[in-house]
Structure 1
Amino acid sequence: MVSIRGQKRLDLGKAAIVRYDSMGHHFEIVVDPKLAWQFKEGKDIEIREILLGYYIFSDALRGQKLTDSELFKEIFETDDIFEISEEILKNGELQITAEMRKEFTEKIRKKIIYFINRNCVNPKTGLPHPPARIERAMEDAKISIDSNEEIVEQAKKIVKKLAEIIPIKMERITLAVKIPAKYTGKAYGIVSKYGTISKDEWQSDGSWIALIDLPVGVHAELNEQLKNLTKGKHDIKKLKETLF
């Protein structure tokens, strides 16, 4: 089966369908699967580039289009095809092949491992677990990745399960740093990369003092970066810990 987008004929075998139900009505759109997945992950992609055919369907495989403007306004409060399609894509279920789902799920798994590595530490050592250790613990805990759940919320649930296998805690910390005048320019860039500067001020001798909120797992890495820059002449102190 083919669909028409302008004068271009598109093979639905290379497309994916997004299904969405609301107020007793069923809606479908046909999309590029990779672009649609990236959009649902938060990437800024124009909906026109994602759609493979500017239509709303009740059944895309059978080519059953919906054209009821009043129905669209009732459900979506607009009859604009692109606004409706974006709403369907955001809230609907993306139908993809098993191979695609495996590929996308693996990418999500790696992002979750990265997030845990940056935001968690071993409370016994104060250091983050290496990614390989986190991955093994996830395998031991028989963690299943949900390709539709937001990464941060999913990571929080996974950390609770990992805590039964390895010592681990998730938190953010506030640090106070003082950088000698000679190194402030480069130090500002380093600090900004690792966390959020909540307060800072310049001293009469040109040195820079700042309060930084950052994930607990990057504390040691930040300290090492500043140590290398300042030849160990910086000061850094942990002020408080906050549960994530």
Structure 2
Amino acid sequence: MLVRYRVGKTTFEVVTKEGTVQKYRKGEIKSLDDVLITDTIFTSYAKREKAGTNQLQAAFQTESYQVSRKEYHLLLGGSTLPTQDCVETILQKGEVQVSSAERKEKLEKRKREVINFIHKYYVDPSKKLPHPVARIENALEECKVRVDADVPVEKQIPDIISKLVNVIPLKKTTLEGQLIVPHSFIGAASSIIARYVTVERESYSSHGCTYDIGIVPGEYDLFMSEMNRVTKGNFDFHVYSQQGAAATTSSTEKTKGNKTSKAKKGNKQK
């Protein structure tokens, strides 16, 4: 894998072992021997053109010799190799050249991150629930959305959403509702509640604990699944509003275990 660093009109290249440059930059690898395939600095590795001493001195403002690190250590007893500073600069600041296979893998990973982000933070406004992952993926294909592997997901989302809304309804929102857990299951459910939702208020009665909560849409299915697992379906969840929705509805959705039914409009059941 090549790392290229341009100074003025000259490009310097070093050849590294696959997957080592990022680890070196993070400090996970300390020795250059574990990073470099060869410690020669090239101006064109493809043509096997080596960088000259004068080029290195002019570009990096350092003394340099065209010998390998091994030869230099043998000659001068292991003192620091002058070209080491040049190599370190190239590794830290240079552009890593990736293979087509690595580029494809990186793009697929970023695309999956985009899909998961939309699934997690956006809902179908009419149903107040996130779209299935497969539907979001199909919408990206239908709209011919181009995902950039080098741009963070959050920066791409506004443009992507502006295209997807022509195919599927989307609104960034937070589901708000009321969760009721019987006393006998509060202990088992507490860690699930802490992991998936934000509790605005809680109160206790003879029936158990009532929580006013907010939940990211994309966590809804996991939350329901985990609550069913730890309570064996013995809980109630009423979705009664959407924070940030285009329009607020007063209808309530009641969930007990895996079953969902519509409650009377305007009635927030206790």
Pairwise TM-score range, normalised by the shorter structure: 0.5 to 0.7
- Indicate whether 1:16 and 2:2 are aligned: yes
Counterpart-to-counterpart distance in 1, 2:218 and 2:180: 20
Letter in structure 2 aligned against 1:46:
E
- Which residue is equivalent to 1:74? none
The match for 1:122 among 121, 124, 127 is 124
Q: Which has the higher contact order (CA 8 A, sep 6+)?
A: 1
Aligned pair in 2 of structure 1 residues 33, 221: CA closer, same or farther (>3 Å)? Answer: same
Greater mean alpha carbon deviation, residues 104-113 or residues 175-184: 175-184
**Superposition map of 1:26-45 within 5 A:** 30-34=15-19
SS in 1 for 2:106: helix
Aligned pair in 2 of structure 1 residues 141, 235: CA closer, same or farther (>3 Å)? Answer: closer
Aligned pair in 2 of structure 1 residues 56, 136: CA closer, same or farther (>3 Å)? Answer: farther
CA contact (8 A) 1:56 1:67 kept: no
TM-score, normalised with respect to structure 1: 0.62
SS in 1 for 2:173: strand
Between the two proteins, the alignment pairs up a number of residues equal to 211
CA contact (8 A) 1:47 1:86 kept: no
CA contact (8 A) 2:202 2:211 kept: yes
**Superposition map of 1:85-234 within 5 A:** 88=93, 93-195=95-197, 197=198, 203=204, 212-230=213-231, 231-234=233-236
Query: Offset of 1:215 from its aligned partner?
Result: 2.0
Mark the runs of 5 or more structure 2 residues left unpaired by the alignment: 63-84, 246-270
Aligned pair in 2 of structure 1 residues 34, 208: CA closer, same or farther (>3 Å)? Answer: farther
CA contact (8 A) 2:119 2:217 kept: no
Counterpart-to-counterpart distance in 2, 1:21 and 1:80: 12
- Which residue is equivalent to 2:249? none
Give per-residue Cα distances to partners, 1:20-70, cap 9 Å, x unaligned.
Answer: 669999776655444557999xxx77254897239796847345467546x
Mark the runs of 5 or more structure 1 residues left unpaired by the alignment: 1-14, 70-78
Letter in structure 1 aligned against 2:35:
L
CA contact (8 A) 1:179 1:209 kept: yes
Letter in structure 2 aligned against 1:185:
G
CA contact (8 A) 2:115 2:137 kept: yes
Larger radius of gyration: 2
Give per-residue Cα distances to partners, 1:208-234, cap 9 Å, x unaligned.
Answer: 565655422222542353245333334
TM-score, normalised with respect to structure 2: 0.57
Counterpart-to-counterpart distance in 1, 2:221 and 2:227: 10
Question: Identity over aligned residues, as a percent?
Answer: 24
Aligned pair in 2 of structure 1 residues 87, 34: CA closer, same or farther (>3 Å)? Answer: closer
Query: Offset of 1:124 from its aligned partner?
Result: 1.8
Query: Offset of 1:152 from its aligned partner?
Result: 2.8
Greater mean alpha carbon deviation, residues 98-107 or residues 212-221: 212-221
CA contact (8 A) 1:187 1:229 kept: yes
Counterpart-to-counterpart distance in 2, 1:142 and 1:103: 19
Letter in structure 2 aligned against 1:116:
I
Aligned pair in 2 of structure 1 residues 241, 67: CA closer, same or farther (>3 Å)? Answer: same
Query: Offset of 1:241 from its aligned partner?
Result: 1.3
The match for 1:52 among 27, 35, 39 is 35
Counterpart-to-counterpart distance in 2, 1:22 and 1:238: 60
Counterpart-to-counterpart distance in 2, 1:179 and 1:125: 24
Letter in structure 2 aligned against 1:223:
M
Letter in structure 2 aligned against 1:16:
L
Counterpart-to-counterpart distance in 2, 1:198 and 1:29: 53
Query: Offset of 1:150 from its aligned partner?
Result: 0.8
